[in-house]
C-alpha cells in the first residue's frame, strides 16, 4: 500500500490508500482504492496513458463521487 501511495502522490495529495488482503492466502486481492484530496488530482491521474508499478501495468477505474444528498436518500 505504501508503494501505491507513493506512486500516486506524484499526481496530487493522496488522502487514503486501501489495499485489501485475502485472509486465507495472505496475498493482496489485486485491487485497491485511492482517495485524492481534490477531483483535479484524479483528473491528473487519468491524463497519463498508462501506469506501471513494479513491472505491472495498472488498470484504473474512476468511482463516481457520492454527494451527501445521495447518501441521505439511500438511508431513507
Q: Is the dihedral of CA 11, 18, 65, 54 positive or negative?
A: positive
Give a yes or no: residue 45 inside a domain. Answer: yes
Check pLDDT > 60 for residue 69.
Answer: no
- Residue 34 CB coordination number (10 Å): 22
User: Whole-angstrom Cα distance, residue 56 to residue 31?
Assistant: 12
Give a yes or no: residue 17 inside a domain. Answer: yes
Give a yes or no: residue 35 inside a domain. Answer: yes
What pLDDT is recorded for position 35? 95
The answer to whether 45 and 8 are in contact (CB under 8 A) is: yes
> Given the DSSP bridges, would you call strands 33-36 and 51-53 parallel, antiparallel or unpaired?
unpaired
CATH code for the domain of 27: 3.30.70.330
Q: Which domain holds residue 4?
A: 1-57
| pTM attached to this predicted model | 0.75
Alpha carbon separation from 48 to 19, 43, 44, 71 (Å, rounded): 22, 9, 7, 31
Over residues 3-62, the pLDDT tens digits come to 999 999 999 999 999 999 999 999 989 899 999 999 999 999 999 999 999 999 999 999
Give a yes or no: residue 73 inside a domain. Answer: no
Domain count, the chain: 1
Give a yes or no: residue 63 inside a domain. Answer: no
Amino acid at each position: 500500500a505504501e508503494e501505491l501511495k507513493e506512486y500516486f502522490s506524484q499526481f496530487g495529495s493522496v488522502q487514503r490508500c486501501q489495499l485489501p488482503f485475502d485472509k486465507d492466502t495472505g496475498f493482496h486481492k489485486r485491487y485497491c482504492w485511492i482517495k485524492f484530496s481534490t477531483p483535479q488530482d484524479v483528473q491528473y491521474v487519468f491524463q497519463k496513458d498508462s501506469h506501471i508499478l513494479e513491472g505491472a501495468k495498472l488498470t484504473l477505474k474512476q468511482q463516481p463521487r457520492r454527494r451527501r444528498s445521495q447518501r441521505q436518500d439511500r438511508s431513507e
